[in-house]
Amino acid sequence: QVQLVESGGGSVQAGGSLRLSCRASSAYYYFNYCMAWFRQAPGREREGVAAIDNSGGTTYTDSVKGRFTISRDNSEKTVNLQMNSLKPEDTAMYFCAAHRAGSSAYCNIGTEFAYWGQGKQVTVSS
């Protein structure tokens, strides 16, 4: 069973930066996994933020393009989300997600993900 553990996040003023990291344990052939970040704000549906496939290809939701960067380190079995120029509307619980089919055809923010982390809060004040 793949376990995902997030770290990072926290509180920052608008315009600031935060970084989220997620480590996958018991993930054999991690290099082939599709990894992603989702977020959910109170009273809103969960939305896909960014995804990265097994070739390093990335997809982003429109609202974070140019501000957020997803990356992965296969040797460490981690995926990171660097968040710059943060806005109050970025405030949410952020979740790491994974599934085994990592090719670009099956890896984007609209994909169904099998494994989920517990979430990390990101709060951006104006």
Q: What is the pLDDT of residues 63-116, one digit of tens each?
A: 999 999 999 999 999 999 999 999 999 999 999 999 998 888 899 999 999 999
pLDDT in tens, 56-69: 999 999 999 999 99
Cα distances from 89 to residues 14, 16, 43, 65, 86, in angstroms, run 10, 13, 13, 14, 8
Q: In the structure, what pLDDT confidence band is assigned to residue 39 with cuts at 50, 70 and 90?
A: very high
- The pLDDT of residue 30 is 86
Asked if 109 contacts 123 with a C-beta cutoff of 8 angstroms, the reply is: no
Least Cα distance to 83 among 61, 109, 114 occurs for: 61
